[in-house]
Amino acid sequence: MQDNLQKSSLLADADRAFARALLASQKAAIDAVESALPALSDAADAMASALRAGRRVIYAGAGSSGLIALQDGAELAGTFGLDPDRIGFILAGGLDKRTHIDAAAEDDRAAAVRDLEAESCREGDAVIAVSASGSTPYTLACAQSAKRAGAKVIGLANRPEAPLLALADVAVMLDSGPEALYGSTRLAAGTAQKAALGLISTLANARLGHVWRGHMVNVRPRNDKLRLRAAHIVAALTDVGEDEAARFLAQADDDVKCAIMLASGEASHAAARASLAAAQGRLDIALTRLRA
């Protein structure tokens, strides 16, 4: 009995030590993203420029990197009110009924070219290609095909001198270090990719005027939770209470920016929309003009 208890204790200690090592590697990966901030800012500019010009942003990847890229892009419509048609996705093995990673599809360069063509990638688009190694054949073929189409390629990789970084217009190297679980890229590398993509897309939408004072001012309140959140945003950014904020939202047809303009003294929904249109959707500029 005593021997069994000692073995159990040793196993528990080993488990905790392994868990600490896994966590430490991911903390280090997050810290490593800081050194990539200048490149991430450039990537955000490229993304914002494509969206501002009416073009599309296409996320491309394979395996864990592709799924992480898919998650970032899939959240943009709900968080920032982007038109879902402006965001495209290319994932090795396809998107339908995705319940596991198709490892063989990562080597299929011809499929990558077909998939990019199916997304109608063209000049002025921005393609965000993500690969931990920076040498995944599917992802590289996507990036190469995108460049031929005239799109701007943003490449994220976790290995210096990766081919993807060499061909990208904006190269983001995420030095996430060695994995505590050898051979896996879903931990440290994936953590760094998730953080980096979130920074790129959030900075890009801030530059488009969809973020103001740390709030999602372009969110589209399509359910009860988001309606409450939208009312809180209007109240937090103006001098009104949440009940009054909800009334302004109703007057503005659930347009958060317009509701903020109304709460700030704009005369009507039509006038608020006109002010925002003149400011190219930038709430800060529209409010400055209103208060002047």
Which tokens hold the place of 241? 């209470």
Residue 262 CA to residue 276 CA, distance in Å, equals 12
Regarding whether 183 and 42 lie in a shared domain, the answer is: yes
Residue at which a domain ends, from 175, 207, 239: 207
**What SS3 class is residue 133?**
coil
pLDDT band per the 50, 70, 90 thresholds, residue 182: confident
Q: With 90 as the cut, is the pLDDT of residue 49 above it?
A: yes
Give the pLDDT of residue 33: 94
Regarding whether 85 and 203 lie in a shared domain, the answer is: yes
Regarding whether 234 and 99 lie in a shared domain, the answer is: no
| Full domain range(s) for residue 248 | 211-291
Which tokens hold the place of 115? 């998939």
Regarding whether 45 and 150 lie in a shared domain, the answer is: yes
DSSP 53-74: TT--EEEEE-HHHHHHHHHHHH
Inter-CA distances, 256 with 210, 250, 253, Å: 10, 10, 9
* Cβ atoms of 154 and 164 closer than 8 Å: no
* Cβ atoms of 101 and 125 closer than 8 Å: no
* Lowest mean pLDDT, pick from 78-87, 93-102, 152-161, 279-288: 93-102
**What SS3 class is residue 131?**
strand
Residue at which a domain ends, from 151, 184, 207: 207
Long-range contacts of 39-44 (CB under 8 A, 24+ apart): 39/170, 39/171, 39/172, 39/173, 40/172, 40/196, 40/199, 40/200, 40/203, 41/203, 42/170, 43/128, 43/154, 43/170, 43/172, 43/200, 44/199, 44/200, 44/201, 44/203, 44/204, 44/207
Q: What is the CATH number of the domain that holds 33?
A: 3.40.50.10490
Specify if 10 maps to a domain: no
Give the pLDDT of residue 96: 72
- Alpha helices in the chain, H assignment, sequence order: 2-33, 37-52, 63-74, 76-80, 109-118, 137-148, 163-167, 188-207, 224-236, 242-251, 256-263, 269-278, 283-291
Residue 113 CA to residue 166 CA, distance in Å, equals 19
The share of the chain scoring above pLDDT 90, in percent, equals 72
Specify if 5 maps to a domain: no
Angle at 278 between CA 276 and CA 284, to 5 degrees: 50
Regarding whether 216 and 171 lie in a shared domain, the answer is: no
Q: With 70 as the cut, is the pLDDT of residue 154 above it?
A: yes
Specify if 4 maps to a domain: no
The domain total for the chain is 2
Regarding whether 89 and 221 lie in a shared domain, the answer is: no
Inter-CA distances, 221 with 84, 103, 205, 231, 274, Å: 15, 38, 17, 9, 21
Residue 134 CA to residue 68 CA, distance in Å, equals 15
Q: What is the CATH number of the domain that holds 262?
A: 1.10.8.1080
Residue 178 CA to residue 3 CA, distance in Å, equals 36
Query: For the whole model, what pTM was predicted?
Result: 0.90
* Residues recognised as catalytic: 75, 106
Residue 221 CA to residue 251 CA, distance in Å, equals 14
Q: With 90 as the cut, is the pLDDT of residue 99 above it?
A: no
- Determine which helix (DSSP H) or strand (DSSP E) holds 172, and give its type and residue range: strand 170-173
Residue at which a domain ends, from 207, 232, 267: 207
Average of pLDDT values for 107-121?
Answer: 93
Average of pLDDT values for 65-70?
Answer: 94
